[in-house]
């Protein structure tokens, strides 16, 4: 624009000087022929000057517009890049203008509203309706107000999912705010992890406090010297030792879990015979079972051999845990069966008992860390609620599965399924 103004001014000045020069010539030169020649020269000189000046101005103007176009393109490109990024980032973004207009709602927010059957474009008139269905915190008025008041981020719970909403006011350089942005992050995982951590600490404290209180009270009673009967003294000492064992077991399981979480479960695998391991684990619990007059039937043929790629120590830990549970949760005179079913791709170790069984409600949660069934708690049966959680982690690290079926007061069936080794016959031939 400045260039065009300059060009106009230059043209005007040249026109004036041209007229002035012609006027002077007209007064000074009398001879007509010479006057015409001089006038032609003056006009030609002025036209040449005008063309030269005009061209220079137009060229610089063109360069200016070219630069402006480039800048605008760069700005537009940046704007589109940011807009695309904002539209598709994992966090939800809603931008509202000062006039209460909806500037942008990204795909994540639309995904959150999808449960409310969102179809077509989400314009300002429909936005609040959907936002209110999700949470009133996302209504435009609330976003503007919260950002204006500089409120800290807040966490909301929507159908068991946790979302953190942060508000930022859009303040241009002059200091007058022109709108607000709400950023919505799904924090379900971290919130649950935080809760699990505090539950974990509460559970560990509780699990340690109970045996510790028992140890302390029995030791204190013994110290007073009031228990004179030798049999009772022995009973008290037995309780102290068994409670110490319980604490020891809990600490061992905790350390096991901690190392699994920290380094991941490191398996030391090799080809190993599963039936012989299952027979050995069954024999190991024989003594404890006998004390409760529980019959343990091992249906695994002595001649049966099945090679499985496994960490023998870890699978032994799983079988020990499942078998000890079967004994713990089976009343005196009960029965436990141990069997192996060999399939094409997997081998199943099936351990059934006709014990207390598990209620439907408990069954859904027995693999959770620290979860203990109602009967375990009310029946005063010792345990930490970690055994099945650890077993599950071990079996799954082997590419297998562990499942529990149970009928309340009828019994429980635990199936540990492991993939059989692919290597068959003489290795290295094909
Ligand atoms: P713990 O036995 O130390 O409580 P587990 O993780 O081994 O912990 O088991 C979790 C819960 O599963 C137990 O508290 C119990 O309620 C239930 N459970 C496991 N095995 C059996 C079983 N064979 N019979 C009945 N309940 C069982």
Instruction: Give the burial class of 70: count Cβ atoms within 10 A of its Cβ; 0-12 exposed, 13-18 middle, 19 or more buried.
Output: exposed
What is the CA(372)–ligand 1 centre distance, in A?
Answer: 6
Q: How many CB atoms within 10 Å of residue 311?
A: 18
- Say if ligand 1 is within 6 A of residue 362 CB: yes
Half-sphere exposure of 9 (CA within 13 A, CB side): 7
Q: How many CB atoms within 10 Å of residue 351?
A: 22
Q: What's the rounded Cα separation, in Å, for the pair 266 and 346? A: 22
Return the closest-CA partner of residue 404 out of 420, 424, 394, 389: 389
Q: Say what the pLDDT of residue 426 is.
A: 66
Q: What's the rounded Cα separation, in Å, for the pair 425 and 427? A: 6
What is the CA(403)–ligand 1 centre distance, in A?
Answer: 12
Q: What residue owns the CA closest to ligand 1's atom 25?
A: 357
- Report the first-to-last Cα separation within the chain, whole angstroms: 82
- Say if ligand 1 is within 6 A of residue 387 CB: yes
Q: In 61-204, which ranges are E strands?
A: 92-97, 102-105, 154-158, 161-170, 179-186
- Say if ligand 1 is within 6 A of residue 373 CB: yes
What is the CA(385)–ligand 1 centre distance, in A?
Answer: 7
What is the CA(339)–ligand 1 centre distance, in A?
Answer: 20
| Closest atom of ligand 1 to CA, residue 362 | 16
Asked if 395 contacts 416 with a C-beta cutoff of 8 angstroms, the reply is yes
Q: What's the rounded Cα separation, in Å, for the pair 233 and 65? A: 102
How many helices and strands (H and E) does the chain possess? Answer: 13, 12
Q: What's the rounded Cα separation, in Å, for the pair 361 and 170? A: 50
- Say if ligand 1 is within 6 A of residue 147 CB: no
- Say if ligand 1 is within 6 A of residue 275 CB: no
Can you name the residues that pair with 419 across neighbouring β-strands? Answer: 346
What is the CA(247)–ligand 1 centre distance, in A?
Answer: 18
> Which residues does the chain have with pLDDT short of 70?
1-3, 114-120, 173-177, 422-430
Asked if 203 contacts 370 with a C-beta cutoff of 8 angstroms, the reply is yes
Q: Which of 285, 373, 389, 403, when mutated, tests ligand 1's pocket best, judged by the most ligand atoms within 8 Å of its CB?
A: 373
Asked if 332 contacts 292 with a C-beta cutoff of 8 angstroms, the reply is yes
| Closest atom of ligand 1 to CA, residue 326 | 23
Please report, for residues 141, 335, 388, the alpha-carbon distance to residue 123 in angstroms, rounded to integers and kept in the order given: 15, 67, 51
Q: What's the rounded Cα separation, in Å, for the pair 306 and 341? A: 10
Q: What's the rounded Cα separation, in Å, for the pair 374 and 379? A: 8
| Strand 270-273 with 401-407, pairing | unpaired
- What order of strands is seen across the sheet that includes strand 154-158? 102-105, 92-97, 179-186, 161-170, 154-158
Q: Say what the pLDDT of residue 114 is.
A: 67
CA dihedral 418, 421, 422, 423 (to 10 degrees): 180
Q: What's the rounded Cα separation, in Å, for the pair 121 and 139? A: 17
Q: Which of 325, 338, 382, when mutated, tests ligand 1's pocket best, judged by the most ligand atoms within 8 Å of its CB?
A: 325
What is the CA(357)–ligand 1 centre distance, in A?
Answer: 9
Q: Which of 336, 337, 363, 372, when mutated, tests ligand 1's pocket best, judged by the most ligand atoms within 8 Å of its CB?
A: 372
Q: How far is CA 377 from the centre of its chain?
A: 33
Instruction: Give the burial class of 3: count Cβ atoms within 10 A of its Cβ; 0-12 exposed, 13-18 middle, 19 or more buried.
Output: middle
Q: Say what the pLDDT of residue 222 is.
A: 94
Q: b/e string for 27-39 if b means 16 or more Cβ within 10 A?
A: eeeeeeeeeeebb
Q: Say what the pLDDT of residue 166 is.
A: 95
């Amino acid at each position: 624009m400045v260039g065009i103004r300059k060009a106009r001014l230059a043209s005007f000045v040249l026109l004036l000087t041209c007229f002035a020069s012609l006027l002077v010539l007209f007064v000074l030169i009398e001879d007509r022929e010479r006057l015409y020649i001089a006038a032609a020269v003056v006009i030609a000189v002025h036209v040449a000057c005008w063309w030269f000046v005009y061209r220079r101005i137009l060229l610089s103007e063109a360069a200016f517009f070219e630069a402006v176009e480039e800048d605008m393109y760069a700005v537009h490109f940046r704007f589109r890049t940011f807009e695309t990024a904002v539209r598709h980032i994992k966090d939800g973004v809603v931008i509202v203008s000062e006039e209460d207009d909806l500037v942008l709602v990204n795909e994540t927010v639309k995904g959150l509203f999808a449960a409310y059957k969102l179809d077509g474009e989400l314009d300002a008139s429909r936005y609040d309706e959907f936002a209110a269905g999700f949470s009133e915190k996302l209504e435009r008025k609330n976003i503007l107000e919260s950002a204006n008041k500089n409120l800290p981020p807040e966490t909301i719970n929507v159908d068991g999912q946790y979302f953190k909403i942060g508000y930022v006011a859009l303040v241009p350089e002059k200091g007058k705010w022109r709108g607000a942005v709400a950023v919505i992050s799904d924090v379900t995982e971290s919130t649950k992890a935080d809760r699990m951590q505090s539950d974990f600490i509460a559970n560990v404290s509780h699990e340690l406090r109970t045996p510790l209180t028992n140890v302390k009270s029995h030791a204190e009673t013994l110290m007073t010297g009031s228990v004179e009967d030798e049999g009772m003294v022995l009973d008290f000492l037995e309780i102290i030792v068994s409670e110490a064992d319980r604490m020891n077991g809990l600490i061992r399981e905790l350390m096991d879990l901690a190392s699994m979480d920290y380094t991941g479960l490191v398996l030391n695998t090799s080809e190993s015979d599963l039936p012989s391991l299952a027979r050995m684990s069954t024999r190991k619990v024989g003594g404890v079972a006998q004390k409760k007059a529980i019959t343990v039937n091992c249906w695994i043929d002595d001649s049966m051999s099945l090679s499985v790629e496994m960490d023998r120590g870890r699978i032994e830990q799983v079988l020990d845990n499942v078998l000890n549970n079967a004994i713990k949760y089976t009343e005196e005179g009960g029965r436990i069966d141990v069997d192996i079913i060999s399939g094409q791709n997997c081998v199943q170790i099936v351990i059934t008992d006709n014990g207390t069984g598990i209620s439907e409600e408990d069954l859904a949660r027995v693999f959770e860390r620290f979860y203990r069934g109602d009967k375990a708690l009310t029946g005063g049966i010792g345990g930490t609620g970690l055994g099945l959680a650890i077993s599950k982690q071990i079996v799954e690290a082997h590419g297998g599965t562990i499942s529990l079926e149970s009928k309340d007061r009828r019994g429980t069936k635990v199936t540990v399924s492991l993939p059989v080794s692919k290597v068959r016959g003489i290795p290295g031939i094909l």
